[in-house]
Structure 1
């Protein structure tokens, strides 16, 4: 397991967008580990390629833990409108693929009480996206 984490952390800083996508997918299940969370935030807000943003958001939404959804919420709060659209697309893709992601909704309800305002705002946006898409 540690080799998988270490390999994914190394790929997260790759110049190749496909390796960064692979890193985002691999790191999603480690969202509660600080080193992975830091790398995932970089991937969610990837300045080089929006595919990295979208697919990392999708992977985190599919994991659906509070730690995973919290990272998406923080990214939403920090993102410009274009990046936020790609984050939305990733969350939406996960919801459609799984026929809805109840874990995301539950995580958003918990994050609505987070002491950090940006997290609360991002979680509210994610909840609104889920409501709007009917997932």
Structure 2
């Protein structure tokens, strides 16, 4: 493992919400690494602070890979109403502005609509609704 990945994995367990949020942002580029993926889902569903949920969702949506959006979809399928609201806010934060990534997220959701896990398909459909993409 690289030292950046190891450091971010360690920060993800911090009692400090800013450190957990930073870990979520730092781990987003490692969404396809199993150890990071597990931790990222935990951060997306962070029970301690909604900022962790929001910032991790935004970072993963900005990463835009199918692996990154798949983690958001898994979290959406497990989230309670409040968590889902903050996941949606994080995704929408990534979609807005001059450097937004709506096409990338929509393309990932279309691929995830055929995922082998029903929870991922359900979560991807929800994310697609947030992006305004009705093709999933």
SS of the equivalent of 2:13 reads: coil
Shift of 1:85: 0.3
After superposition, give the CA deviation of every residue in 1:72-96 in whole Å (9 maximum; x if it has no partner). 0000000011100000000000000
| Unmatched runs of 5 consecutive residues or more in structure 2 | none
Provide the alpha-carbon RMSD of the alignment: 1.2
Runs of 4+ in 1 over 2 A off after TM superposition: 97-101
Task: Structure 1: give runs of 5+ residues left out of the alignment.
Answer: none
How far residue 103 of structure 1 moved from its aligned partner, in angstroms, is 1.1
With normalisation by structure 2, the TM-score equals 0.94
- Alpha-carbon deviation of 1:100? 3.9
Residue of structure 2 equivalent to 1:75: 75
Query: CA–CA distance in 1 between the matches of 2:42 and 2:119?
Result: 17
Give the Cα–Cα distance (whole angstroms) in 1 for the partners of residues 46 and 15 of structure 2: 11
Q: Contact 1:60–1:72 at 8 Å: present in 2 too? A: yes
Which protein has the bigger helix share? 1
- Measure, in 1, the Cα distance between the counterparts of 2:33 and 2:102: 22
TM-score, normalised to structure 1's length? 0.95
